[in-house]
Structure 1
């Protein structure tokens, strides 16, 4: 069976060394023609890396609606001394009536809203700060991806 290296979009490289001087495209999808046709694969996308030295690589297929975005807990919340008491107080304050499954669902929905407000009050706009830092890092990597000289990188880092 013959495999195909699907066309790449996004970054050229999927791995960066810790010092940023070495880059390579070591992560990729190799697929058969039959799989590509059956699933409507049009390419692979190399995304922005986060904390790993590898970038995520996604297959590009026809859009699928996965439903609403799930609620995520930030690990820093769990370390905050007031977190558990805040959750307990909030949970007990909700007056929801009905079947048990309905009450549970509605209380989680109310807790989600309370946690979002609490996060902004206690931590500020943490998500924006993280996004800005990741964007700056990815901008530098994109410059390196385009064969930018060391002078320009030094200027950017300063």
Structure 2
């Protein structure tokens, strides 16, 4: 039939016996010469399996290098009180350059790097924040079942609830931005 067996990338085998005693390349992708001429270079990526005995396959027809990923500003950062100070201090750092465009580029690069670092160190992962705050609230609820909470524990409980709501709003804003949804007002 004059079909071409597309080469694998990632793993050599696509099927594994459950006890691990045997493995084979059962799954294949075959393409015609005309398809190959039209779509160009191609390869089959073997994805790691989980509970199945077969590995999923992805047919890639081109390897495109789009260059470095662009910097994205997350709108949920604006809800944090420290963002303005981070941007201002990064912008005001001395930058060398004889042209104004070079200095502006340097300032923008400073802001980008400062925001990346700030996001990791201060803002953090929204899902992790929600999970940790929820666990702390769960511990206080367990204490409350055994005895009446003192005033400091009540105020801590209120802070945790506020923190969870804030983190959930941040997550909603982030998801809306990622989905490129334009909402009139997000909370």
TM-score by length of 1: 0.41
The structure, 1 or 2, with the larger RCO (C-alpha pairs under 8 Å, 6+ apart) is: 1
TM-score when scaled to structure 2?
0.36
Could you say which structure has the larger radius of gyration? 2
